Structure 1
Amino acid sequence: MGFASGLIGGFTLTASVLYLSATYHRQQRLRQSLALRQQSLVLTNVVDPLPPQPPPTAREARISIAETAKDFWNEKVERTVSSIEGMNWSDVWLSAEEKVAAVWGKVMKTSGEEVPSPNMKGS
């Protein structure tokens, strides 16, 4: 190993050890400082407790037009969703089939072709 590489290697090793030692000691001092602050606060509160907080006062919030509109919109959406959830979809389907069959029958009558009965199945 040459002089330069030995010198650089020794410097790097020494600097790394010093940096890690300083970082470790700094972290330890911070932990000790935090622990001492907590212990001091606990002892202070035991000897001289803080006065109780006054009860919160009642506040009236002013309702804006935007909030009123939002509430109105939300009520409408809730009503719509509940009506959709309570709907019998098989009845809706049958009603739609009957309406389409009636329209189809009118179209076929105007064209002059024979209209099959909706109750008859195709053969």
Structure 2
Amino acid sequence: MGFTTGLLGGITLTTSLLYLSLRLHTDNRSHQSALLRQQSTLLQNIVAPPPPVPAPLPREVRAGVLESAKDRWNAELERNVRSVQNVDWEEWGRWAEDGVSRVWRRAFAKSQEAVDRAAGNA
């Protein structure tokens, strides 16, 4: 290894180590500074708490035609779902059974009349 190569290698190694150690020192100091600032703020808030922040004013945004249509659709859908949920299914089942039995009795009575007429004609 020649004089120039050794000199350049030594300078590179020295500056790299110097840069890394300064960078580490700077990062540590900024971290310590942030911690001290945080602790100072906490202590100040304990001694003299800041005034409460007023609530933000509500913002009114006018809905467009599409949003209004969506809202109406959703309201109608909710109303229909609630009506289906509020149905007394046992009562509805009894009503359906009664209707089917009435239709069955009529059909059976008509078929019985047809059988009786056919037997009377024979």
Separation in structure 2 between the aligned mates of residue 48 and residue 38 of structure 1, nearest angstrom: 15
1:1-123 equivalences in 2 (<5 Å): 1-55=1-55, 60-72=60-72
Identity of aligned residues (%): 52
> Tell me, which stretches of 5 or more residues in structure 1 are unaligned?
83-123
Separation in structure 1 between the aligned mates of residue 25 and residue 60 of structure 2, nearest angstrom: 54
- Cα deviation, residue 20, structure 1: 0.3
Cα 1:63–1:22 change in 2 (3 A) is: same
Separation in structure 2 between the aligned mates of residue 46 and residue 27 of structure 1, nearest angstrom: 29
1:99 corresponds in structure 2 to: none
Cα 1:68–1:3 change in 2 (3 A) is: same
- Cα deviation, residue 72, structure 1: 4.5
- Cα deviation, residue 74, structure 1: 5.6
Separation in structure 1 between the aligned mates of residue 31 and residue 68 of structure 2, nearest angstrom: 52
Separation in structure 2 between the aligned mates of residue 60 and residue 5 of structure 1, nearest angstrom: 73
Structure 1 length as normaliser, TM-score? 0.52
Pairwise CA RMSD: 2.8
- Cα deviation, residue 62, structure 1: 3.0
Separation in structure 1 between the aligned mates of residue 58 and residue 19 of structure 2, nearest angstrom: 57
Aligned length: 79
Separation in structure 2 between the aligned mates of residue 42 and residue 10 of structure 1, nearest angstrom: 48
Cα 1:22–1:71 change in 2 (3 A) is: same
Q: Report 1 or 2 for greater relative contact order, CA contacts < 8 Å, sequence distance ≥ 6.
A: 1
Cα 1:2–1:70 change in 2 (3 A) is: same
Separation in structure 2 between the aligned mates of residue 5 and residue 58 of structure 1, nearest angstrom: 71
Structure 2 length as normaliser, TM-score? 0.52
Cα 1:56–1:12 change in 2 (3 A) is: closer
Cα 1:17–1:53 change in 2 (3 A) is: same
Cα 1:59–1:4 change in 2 (3 A) is: closer
